[in-house]
Amino acid sequence: MLFRSEHMAEATIRGNQTIAYHLSGPEDAPVLLLITGLAGLKEGWFHQVAYFQKRCRILTFDNRGLGGSSLVESEATLADFAEDAVLLMDHLNIDAAHVWGVSMGGKIAQELALGWPERVDHVVLENTSAGEAHRVEGRQPSPLRAMQGADSETWLAQIVPLLFGKAYREANAKAMRAFARSRERRPPNPAAVDIQWNAYERFDSWERLPQLRHSVLCLAGAEDALCHPGNAERLAERLPMAELCIIDGGGHSVHIELPLLVNEAVAAFQIGRASCRERV
C-alpha–C-alpha distance, residues 14 and 12, integer Å: 7
Which has the closest alpha carbon to 214: 95, 78, 120?
120
Which has the closest alpha carbon to 214: 266, 264, 270?
270
Contact between residue 61 and residue 42 where contact means Cβ atoms under 8 Å apart: yes
For position 4, what pLDDT does the model report?
41
For the cut 90, the answer to whether the pLDDT of residue 144 exceeds it is no
Most confident of 51-55, 138-142, 205-209: 205-209
pLDDT in tens, 29-42: 999 999 999 989 99
* Phi, psi values for residue 172, rounded to 5°: -130, 45
Q: What percent of the chain has pLDDT over 70?
A: 91
Among the residue ranges 55-69, 140-154, 266-280, the one predicted with the least confidence is 266-280
Q: pTM of whole model > 0.85?
A: yes
Query: Which one-letter DSSP state was computed for residue 118?
Result: G
Q: b or e along 1-12 (b: 16 or more beta carbons within 10 Å of the residue's beta carbon)?
A: eeeeeeeeeebe
Q: How many CB atoms lie within 10 A of CB 133?
A: 9
pLDDT in tens, 42-84: 999 999 999 999 999 999 999 999 999 999 878 899 999 999 9
pLDDT in tens, 240-254: 999 999 999 999 999
